[in-house]
Structures are given as structure tokens and as C-alpha cells.
Amino acid sequence: MTIAQWTDGMATGLCEIDCQHKALIKIANGLHEVLSKNKGKEVVSQAASFLLDFVSENFQNEERIMQSCDYPSYQSHKMLHDEFVGNLKGLIGRFNNTGDTAFLINSVQHSIVKWLLDHFASEDKKLAEHVMNITGKRVA
Ligand SMILES: [Fe+2]
């Protein structure tokens, strides 16, 4: 079952960021799939780590872009990233300790995916608008 879906409303217009967001949606769906198909703790743990790694890569990429164009909301945007990564690490750590599939699947459905999609459509769009205003380009 696909729980996260890309919509045009999420597009920031910066293709590098949008490509990463599309990949993140696929990875989040992949994690949800291995959880719902009860693929076992090892497989779920790997899928969760993959999501964490790719989220971190996307956030670092955005933070580089923000710094390179003196984005005025850099600190508050980075704080949102740091909070999310901290929460995600906590959820994965709890799963790795307990193997509690029901808890993780609930978190993926009701908090992780929702946060990511909302963030793409709000904060990341604001960042992209700033970049496009100062560069006049639609690529980072
Ligand atoms: Fe972001």
C-alpha cells in the first residue's frame, strides 16, 4: 500500500530538491511496505536506516543551498530539520530495541510521512522561492 504520494502542489521548482523529495516518498513507501508485510526486524531496520540516511542527505543539501544564498530563515529551517532527524532517530532506536512493528508503522503513517509532505509543501517551497528570486533560475 502506498501511503505517500507526490503531488504537483509539493513541487518547489528546484529540480535537485524535487528529485530528492520524490525519492524520499518512494523510500518512505518502501519502509511502510516492509513493515506492513512483516518482513522481519532486520529488513525493517535497514529500510528505516535508509530513510534516515536519505533524509539527512536531503536536509544537508538544502542547508548548503540556504547558506550559499544567505537565506534569512536558515536557522529556523535548520532547527525543523534537526528536530525531525532527532525524532526519527528516536523512533528507529526504539524499534531496534523493541522490534515493535505496530508502533513504527503507526509513526510512519501518522507522523513521519505527514511531516515530510507538509514540510516539502511549505518550508521547502519558501526556500526555493528565495533561491529563484535571487538567481532567476529554476535549478539550484
Ligand atoms: Fe527542508
**Sequence-distant (≥ 6) Cβ neighbours of residue 104 within 8 angstroms:** 35, 44, 48, 91, 92, 94, 95
**Residue 17, domain member (yes or no):** no
Q: What is the pTM of this model?
A: 0.94
**Residue 4, domain member (yes or no):** no
**Residue 28, domain member (yes or no):** no
DSSP, collapsed to helix, strand or coil, labels residue 2 as: coil
Res 38 pLDDT > 50: yes
**Residue 24, domain member (yes or no):** no
- The pLDDT, as a whole number, for residue 135 is 81
Q: What is the mean pLDDT of the chain?
A: 95
Instruction: Calculate how far, in angstroms, residue 124's C-alpha sits from the geometric centre of ligand 1.
Output: 5
* Closest C-alpha to 21, from 47, 48, 50, 58: 58
Domains: count for the chain: 1
**Residue 93, domain member (yes or no):** yes
pLDDT tens digit sequence for 74-128: 999 999 999 999 999 999 999 999 999 999 999 999 999 999 999 999 999 999 9
- The pLDDT, as a whole number, for residue 137 is 64
- The pLDDT, as a whole number, for residue 2 is 86
Res 36 pLDDT > 70: yes
Instruction: Calculate how far, in angstroms, residue 37's C-alpha sits from the geometric centre of ligand 1.
Output: 30
Instruction: Calculate how far, in angstroms, residue 128's C-alpha sits from the geometric centre of ligand 1.
Output: 10
Own/partner pairs, 63-69, CB within 8 angstroms, 24+ separation: 65/14, 65/17, 65/127, 65/131, 65/140, 66/127, 69/130, 69/131, 69/134, 69/135
- The pLDDT, as a whole number, for residue 138 is 54
The range of the structural domain enclosing residue 104 comes to: 40-135
